[in-house]
Amino acid sequence: MRMRWRHLAVLAVAVPALVFGLAWSGLIGVRASTGHWAATDWFLHWVMRNSVRTASLSTEPSRHDDPSSTAAAAAHFQSGCAVCHGSPAEQRSSTMLSMLPPPPDLSVAVNAWTDAQLFEIVKHGVRFTGMPSWPTQVRDDEVWAMVGFLRNLPQMSARDYIELSGLQLTPTARSLTPLVMTCESCHAQGRPGNGGAVPLISGQSEAYLLESLKAYKAGRRPSGIMSVALGPLSQDDLKKLAGHYAEQRVSWQQVGPTNAERYQAGLQLAQNGRSIDRIPACLSCHERDNGNEDYPRLFGQNAAYLGQQLRLFRMGVRGGGKASHLMAVAAKNLTDEDIDTLASFFSQRNNDRPSAAMD
């Protein structure tokens, strides 16, 4: 018995020493050009599949079929993902195919995963593969939008992809600078995504736009999509963009109330708030003549975007502007019905409401 324990003690010291010595010697190859042994490749992918499957068990499915969110995700895919994975409009390059492991063709690979598993991969990334995590971990709505886009990818033609991702150059777009084109792929008036979760930014004040861009770039206002879009831009670029969109003429569509009762409920809440729940009146700050330029203009804005932002404020994850802390308090006690009512009200542009700030 004494000898057996002595042998175990020697092994406990010798085996780690041998492993460390082998690693130190440099004899273990790390060349991507030689690839993995078949057994190694199988094992690594087996571990990955099992890990994703187990981690996704706690993921609750969420709606991800909003066309406007899908368009924003497509634009992000083009700028941040297509360089590795390719797209319906452009195949993967030979350089990317030389990676170990090579990034998969997602138009084929997505069918092997459930929605919850795709969410897990997109949000958290995969170690040892070069697949990064989503740039912010508090915007599940953006991750689900990407899942929705990936679900549509296998059926997408090159033409569909070009239009959805914003690569389609219109005669007007051809006259824009490369800097502005960075934003136009999502925010151009008339874009497929500019009818829902993508905000209309033309005609907003320069002060508000610049503060928002700075907050996105600094990470004070979380967004994986915006952080990638603004990553390579300088502070001077941000000023130019804010000035450009502040000067744009707004082509707002005339939209009448679809439900008179809901319109009146939105008007009541926007004008008077609800004191019992400590909800202030929206119009006490927004849409005022000669109002604070740091506050965004809301009339005519996309309902889906307004609702999304109010929910983010209510969750406590929407930072950014100088008054974001005030909005977090204002939105804290809003119900889902309140949010939908306010979003619907402000999205409707009518001649019988204050509108001078938007003209």
- Please check whether residue 24 lies inside any domain of the structure: no
Q: What is the CA angle 214-220-223, rounded to 5?
A: 90
- If asked whether residues 157 and 284 sit together in one domain, one would say no
Half-sphere exposure (Cβ direction) of 196: Cα atoms closer than 13 Å: 14
Kindly give the confidence (pLDDT) of every residue in the chain, 359 residues in length, as a single tens digit, with 9 standing for 90 and above.
Answer: 456 788 888 888 999 999 999 999 999 888 999 999 999 999 999 999 999 999 999 999 887 777 778 888 999 999 999 999 999 999 999 999 999 999 999 999 999 999 999 999 999 999 999 999 999 999 999 999 999 999 999 999 999 999 888 876 554 555 567 788 778 888 887 776 566 788 989 999 999 999 999 999 999 999 999 999 999 999 999 999 999 999 998 765 545 556 888 889 999 999 999 999 999 999 999 999 888 999 999 998 989 899 999 999 999 999 888 889 999 999 999 999 999 999 999 998 654 444 433 33
- Closest CA relative to residue 145, chosen from 118, 179, 171: 118
Q: In this structure, are residues 119 and 59 in contact, taking their beta carbons and an 8 Å threshold?
A: yes
The pLDDT assigned to 138 comes to 95
- Please check whether residue 250 lies inside any domain of the structure: no
- Please check whether residue 223 lies inside any domain of the structure: no
- Please check whether residue 109 lies inside any domain of the structure: yes
224, 227, 232, 233: CA torsion to nearest 10: 150
pTM of the complete model: 0.89
Q: Which are the contacts of 151, defined by CB distance < 8 A and separation ≥ 6?
A: 64, 110, 115, 118
Q: Which of 168, 198, 228 is the last residue of a domain?
A: 198
CATH number for position 344: 1.10.760.10
C-alpha of 259 from chain center: 31
- Please check whether residue 213 lies inside any domain of the structure: no
The pLDDT assigned to 206 comes to 97
The pLDDT assigned to 90 comes to 92
The pLDDT assigned to 176 comes to 64
- If asked whether residues 193 and 64 sit together in one domain, one would say yes
What's the rounded Cα separation, in Å, for the pair 96 and 285?
A: 51
- If asked whether residues 194 and 267 sit together in one domain, one would say no
The pLDDT assigned to 196 comes to 74
The pLDDT assigned to 357 comes to 37
CATH number for position 131: 1.10.760
Residue 188 DSSP SS3 = coil
Phi first, then psi: what are they for 172, rounded to 5°? -70, -40
- Please check whether residue 298 lies inside any domain of the structure: yes
The pLDDT assigned to 237 comes to 96
Residue 130 DSSP SS3 = coil
Residue 90 DSSP SS3 = strand
166, 169, 170, 171: CA torsion to nearest 10: 150
- Please check whether residue 176 lies inside any domain of the structure: yes
Q: Which of 146, 180, 198 is the last residue of a domain?
A: 198
Distance, first Cα to last Cα, the chain: 91
Domain ranges, residue 106? 59-198
- Please check whether residue 122 lies inside any domain of the structure: yes
Residue 26: exposure state from Cβ atoms within 10 A (0-12, 13-18, ≥19): exposed
Q: Count up the domains in the chain and report the number.
A: 2
Q: Which of 198, 227, 248 is the last residue of a domain?
A: 198
